[in-house]
A and B are shown apart, each in its own frame.
Chain A
Amino acid sequence: MFLFIFIGMPLAIAGILPVISRISRKFLPDFLANLCFVILLAASISIYNLWPGAGRFSHNLGWFGTDLNISLVLDGFSLLMIFTVCIVSLAVGLFSIDYIERYGWRSAYYSILLVLVASINGIILTSDLFTMYVFIEAAGLVCYGLVAFGRTRFAIEGAIKYLIISAIASVFILLGIALIFVRTGSTDLRVIAAYPVAASKVNIILFLVGFGVKCALVPFHFWMPDAYTAAPAVLPAMSSGIFVKAAGVYALCRIFFNTYGVNQAVLSVMIYLGIVSILVGAFLALGQTRLRRMLAYSSISQMGYIVLGLGIGTPLGIIGALLHLFFHSAFKSLLFLNAGAVEYATGTDESKELGGLGGRMPFTSTTNIIGILSAAGVPPLNGFWSKLIIVIALWQAKMFLYAFIAIFASVLTLWYLLLIQRRIFFGKLNKLLAEVYEVPFWMNLSMVGLALVCVWTGVSFASFICTWLLPASGVLIDGVKGQLFIIGSQFL
């Protein structure tokens, strides 16, 4: 039951919020939604404290002694993902208190944010491929709505592009699931793992393309910049921070590492996709003047690092990839929230129309620098350690060219992000921006909180690896074996 609150609680609150909002339009939706995010974060930390450190636990939900056939599975990897989701969703929830004022209907907004969190948690905790697909669709549906929430021509265009490309990806995934079901007679990942025949070439291609679109890897990345530019800033923070990772990287890892078992051909494809994404994302980001568009291309590049790390296939590469997955969630959500704050204060995120905001918006400027330096991999912030581990893993695997490209793209990242920092926050204040002031308290609190996460995880990265990362990477290193053996469900 304890584990089910990650899905059930946000869904239940999402259902009652529109009713409760008739009593209080502002306070209760803000309070209940954020209380839910705080409880989920506390629950994820307390589960970690109860966690024996390794193993895979299955929990069948019952109702007065009757088995409900809802089976939730938790291991080190899903625990790390749940923790990431809880941190980012709390930051976005706090940011929304002031930010969503301009977009109107608060209770419905929080409801769809809660449905998004419940769906992402559903993707992470299920052990069934079709249920995972249903939750991916549910989360995707919320994202299309949030993109179109901007109601400008570009927002609708972005939403339609996202919808169409994502629907094509869903067809690929569904076809893959159907083929597996035909071969094995089940969609349960544990059953599929016992059938080596399930991993046919067609299936591998279908899943690589389907989840590649969800991850926005090059050449399946077209939806991301348009979708992220026009939507409210909380959507890219949630989507780039956690949805893309849960529906893309997490699902990909569960299928290729834990169900099919690693295969050199798949790993090579992952390396190529990763390298191309890193380079193309970085070069395309270089030419952008709109802050959010640049961050969207930067996300494509950073997702490339994660897939590259996984593609190396060595324990060190997997640790680097998962570390970058968590760190990227923190710093990219921070950067997107910063972009939202700039837009909230000035009405635009076009860097040509901005300048000298540092003096007017000290919190936003400082947290943005922390985010940028983390993204570019400057020590001692968190992005440095994850990229360093990925580069060392590439070096160990004798992939010297790829290691060089990873370092080169990191320098490019620093270049384009510092360029935009200088244009927006440094220099002389644009005369049109004389009336601009720092954003309200809750937005600042959320950005400062995420910036502290970036600094804290960077400074204490070694203990973070030992506590959260090793159990998570252990699950992927164990491969199919990790999927098959369930230890028990006592502590849940």
Chain B
Amino acid sequence: MTSLLIGAVLVFACLAVFLKDMLKAVLCLLISSIFLAIIFFRLNAPFAGVFEISVVAGLIMVLFIITISIVGPQDTVSEPTVPIAIFLVLFMIFSYLVNDGIVHLLTSEKFLANSKDYKRFGEALWLGRTFDIVGQISVIFAGVFVVLLVAGRRRNGK
């Protein structure tokens, strides 16, 4: 199961790199990070899972979406082919390493975290990290307002 999840993380991470549409790329990254968070939960590290979701889904996604809204859909970026080819080679090597070593390492009992306090995402978030939610609300508010401000000014042509 963990191998499948790691595979899903890698597939969506790759899609995030290759997709031309930036919004879809960001959504792929988001899905990839959610799979990563599920892996953390399965490995008994609920706080790491909560941090992964709150940082990537909360903080970094807002930043990306702001950037996309500032750049706009009409500004396409042409990408050179050489870095993509290099990335593919590196990715294949990395996938091999993950499959061969890291999955065994992660799933062996010896390396599992032993946090038994919170088993589910809800428990870890609501009972363990409640205050972070207030911070997340600040982040989301900040992101939304900044997008509205910048996009509003863009429409006005200033």
Q: Does A302 contact B (CB under 8 A)?
A: no
Q: Does A131 contact B (CB under 8 A)?
A: yes
Contact between chains at A112 and B130 (CB < 8 Å)? no
**Closest CB-CB distance, A276 to chain B, in whole Å?**
31
Identify which of A7, A109, A141, A149 contacts B142 (C-beta below 8 A): A141
Residue of B nearest to A177 (CB): B51
The distance in angstroms between the C-alpha atoms of A144 and B64, with both chains bound, is 13
Q: Mark A134-148, 1 if CB is under 8 A from B, else 0.
A: 110111011011001
Decide yes or no: A141 and B62 within 8 Å by CB, A15-B141, A69-B128 being known contacts. Answer: yes
Interface-lining segment among B25-33, B35-43, B80-88, B146-154: B146-154
Known: A112-B146, A138-B142. A104 touches B156 (CB 8 A): yes
A14 CB within 8 Å of chain B: yes
A115/B130 in contact, CB under 8 A:
no
Closest to A114 in B: B141
- Residues in A with CB closer than 8 Å to B132 are 130-131, 134
> Do most interface residues of chain A lie in helix, strand or loop, or is the interface mixed?
helix
Please, what's the 1-or-0 string for B51-78, where 1 marks a CB less than 8 Å from any CB in chain A?
1001100110011001000100000000
Question: Is B134 a contact partner of A112 (Cβ separation < 8 A)?
Answer: no
* Distance in Å: Cβ of B51 to nearest Cβ of chain A: 7
B130 touches A145 (CB 8 A): no
Contacting B at CB under 8 A, from A290-320, are none
**In the assembled complex, A70 has its CB within 8 A of some CB on chain B:** yes
Residue B97 CB within 8 A of the other chain: no
Residues of B within 8 A of A428 (CB): none
Is A71 in contact with B145, judged by CB distance below 8 angstroms? no
- Interface set, chain B 108-154, CB cutoff 8 A to A: 115, 126-132, 134-139, 141-143, 145-146, 148-150, 152-153
Q: Do A105 and B135 have beta carbons less than 8 Å apart?
A: no
A122 at the binding interface (Cβ < 8 Å): yes
> Quick check: A145 and B150 within 8 Å, CB to CB?
yes
Is the Cβ of B47 less than 8 Å from the Cβ of A134? no
Determine if A433 is an interface residue (Cβ-Cβ < 8 Å).
no
Q: Which residue of the partner chain, among A70, A105, A139, contacts B130 with CB atoms under 8 Å?
A: A70
Contacts of B63 in A (CB 8 A): 141, 163
- What residue in chain A is nearest B114 (Cβ atoms)? A185
| In the complex, residue of chain A having the shortest beta-carbon distance to the beta carbon of B51 | A130
Is A68 at the interface (CB under 8 A from chain B)?
yes
Known: A104-B152, A108-B145, A144-B146. A151 touches B158 (CB 8 A): yes
- Whether B149 lies near A134 (C-beta < 8 A) is no
Which of B128, B135, B148, B153 gathers the greatest number of chain A CB atoms within 10 Å? B135
A118–B128 touching, CB < 8 Å: no
Closest partner residue, chain A, to B138 (CB atom): A138
B107 to chain A, nearest CB (A): 20
**Chain B nearest CB: distance from A154 CB in Å?**
15
Q: Which chain A residues have a beta carbon within 8 Å of chain B's beta carbons?
A: 7-8, 11, 14-15, 18, 68-71, 104-105, 108-109, 111-112, 115-116, 118-119, 122, 126, 128, 130-131, 134-135, 137-139, 141-142, 144-145, 148-149, 151, 163, 174, 181, 185
Some 17 contacts from A to B, beta carbons below 8 A apart, are: A69-B129, A69-B131, A70-B130, A108-B148, A112-B142, A119-B135, A130-B51, A131-B129, A138-B135, A141-B146, A142-B145, A145-B145, A145-B146, A148-B70, A149-B149, A151-B150, A151-B158
Further 6 A-B residue pairs, CB within 8 A, beyond A130-B132, A131-B131: A108-B152, A112-B146, A134-B132, A138-B139, A139-B138, A149-B150
